[in-house]
Amino acid sequence: MSADNRSRIASIEIDEKSLAPAGPDADHERKVAIFDLLEGNSFRVIGHDGGPYNVVLSLADNRLVFDISEADGSPVRKLLLSLTALRRVIKDYFMICDSYYDAIRSSTPSQIEAIDMGRRGLHNEGSQVLTERLADKAEVDFDTARRLFTLVCALHARS
């Protein structure tokens, strides 16, 4: 298996105890993010030549936990990230998502588009922060970071 083919997430789960209750919109967004992530991603644990990886995302002591193992189940590493750097962008992202879902029901297409542009901008910002926080632990491409940020938001809603 080539290095490029190994540098990816083969499966991803969200720890059910950490998962926040979600409405249908958020639940759908999470499922789409998981599907899209598994269809194409770039993820390499720094200092590890293995992969592809199984990842379980959870929250523990106000930290985001990436519990990473090889496809055969052999443990690789637990990556712990403080949520402090992500807290503001997640809060802002949730606020604009609420506005977006409200706008879909009652606003003009141009108002919806403007809110959606802001929503995408915050999502990109959160993805960039996540990439920076992971930088010395794992390498991810931007699309992978975007999908991971969606999943981080699904976890963070409860905390």
pLDDT band at 4 (very low <50, low <70, confident <90, very high): low
**Would you state the pLDDT for residue 31?**
85
| Domain layout of the chain by residue ranges | 3-156
pLDDT tens-digit series, residues 13-22: 988 777 666 6
- Is residue 45 within 8 A of residue 68, CB to CB? The reply is yes
Residue with tokens 């992978």: 144
In sequence order, what DSSP letters do the residues of 61-129 get, joined into one string?
TTEEEEEEEETTS-EEEEEEEESHHHHHHHHHHHHHHHHHHHHHHHS-HHHHHHHHHHHHHHHHHHHHH
- For the beta carbon of residue 67, count every other beta carbon within 10 angstroms: 18
- Residues facing 11 on adjacent strands: 54
Burial call 10-33: b when 16+ CB within 10 Å, e when fewer: eebebeeebbeebeeebeebbeeb
In sequence order, what DSSP letters do the residues of 20-73 get, joined into one string?
PP--HHHHHHHHHHHHHHHHS--EEETT-----EEEEEEEETTEEEEEEEETTS
- The whole-model pTM stands at 0.86
Dist CA 5 CA 130 (whole Å): 23
pLDDT tens-digit series, residues 75-108: 999 999 998 989 899 999 989 988 988 898 999 9
pLDDT tens-digit series, residues 53-77: 999 999 888 899 999 999 899 999 9
